[in-house]
Amino acid sequence: MRTIGRAAAAVTAWLATAVFTTAVEFRELNTDRDAFTPATTTTEMGRVLTEASYVWIDNRGTPATNSFPELLVRLGARERLEWRFGVNYEQGSGGSVVSAVEVGEAPLGTELSSEASLLYGFKLRTTDQDGWLPRSAVIMEGFTPVAGDVWGTEPVATYAFGWELAERWRFDSALRYAYADSEEGRFDRWMPSVVLRAPVTRRFEVHAEWFGSWTQGLPDDSVRPFVGPGTHFMITPNFELGCRMGWGLTRDAAGYYFDVGIGWLL
């Protein structure tokens, strides 16, 4: 009986530990790749958050775009500051406007055969949520092509803000501006977005998002809004698998896109 009692106590303790661990360790990684709208948080000081994706874009009337690995390494430098470094390769037409990786843009109806670029910059958490005051962050980045058809470093500035709501729902919004490059010269690109996130379990979350890209300064400016759902699942407390998809709402926008990626915290 003592042996059975000790075994029962051990099993009970193990179950209690498992429940406690699940409650404490399965928390959001807050990857930026999870949606077009970046997270309003920064990586914890001394930690490294690595993100990567593969994106397929079904363009209208031109070949599809393949974008990978969309690698982003986020280094927690201070309590509110992170350094950001990345690399990406894109093959296809038109330039990617459905992810946070900024690239050059070919005129509508023509092909941008390939582009490889480096990303570097920082993210600063500017405010914490306090009542109606949102949690917010500023991202300053540069994208420098190292191979491809369009050259010229592109500065990109992003302001993201949002609120955590009841039942751990979250509403975030962002405005991204890029001084972009094309075969026809420099132009302005404005990219607003909003996303509503809802937890299903402690490890599983879904979201719905609207975002778009508006250009100024091209002979034929484009308007490319998108809408679509997404989700991610925490495989381990430090490893996330996610996907998202969406549809273009104008003739300028791609008909459909699909994005699958990971987040890994060290």
What's the average model confidence in pLDDT over 209-213? 96
Q: Decide which of 111 and 215 is more confident.
A: 215
Encoded amino acid at 231, one letter: T
Q: Give dist(CA 145, CA 192) in Å, integer.
A: 24
Look at residue 5 and tell me if it is in a domain.
no
Q: Give dist(CA 240, CA 185) in Å, integer.
A: 39
- According to DSSP, residue 238 is labeled T
What's the average model confidence in pLDDT over 147-157? 81
Look at residue 10 and tell me if it is in a domain.
no
User: Which residues span the domain enclosing 210?
Assistant: 29-265
Q: What mean pLDDT, rounded, does the chain reach?
A: 86
Q: Give dist(CA 89, CA 115) in Å, integer.
A: 6
Looking at residue 58, which CATH number applies to its domain? 2.40.160.40
Q: How many domains does the chain have?
A: 1
pTM of the model: 0.85
Look at residue 64 and tell me if it is in a domain.
yes
Q: Give dist(CA 205, CA 145) in Å, integer.
A: 34
User: For 232-264, how does the pLDDT look when each residue is reduced to its tens digit (9 = 90+)?
Assistant: 999 999 999 999 999 999 998 999 999 999 999
Look at residue 186 and tell me if it is in a domain.
yes
Residue 196 is inside which H or E element, if any? Answer: strand 187-199
Look at residue 69 and tell me if it is in a domain.
yes
Q: Give the SS3 label for residue 184.
A: coil
Look at residue 9 and tell me if it is in a domain.
no
Q: Is the peptide bond before 69 cis (omega within 30 degrees of 0)?
A: yes
Cβ burial, residue 63 (10 Å; 0-12/13-18/19+):
middle
What's the average model confidence in pLDDT over 94-110? 60
Look at residue 14 and tell me if it is in a domain.
no
Those residues whose C-beta lies under 8 Å from the C-beta of residue 116, and which sit 6 or more positions away, are 87, 88, 89, 90, 145, 146, 147, 148
- Assign 18 a pLDDT band (cuts: 50, 70, 90): very low
Look at residue 17 and tell me if it is in a domain.
no
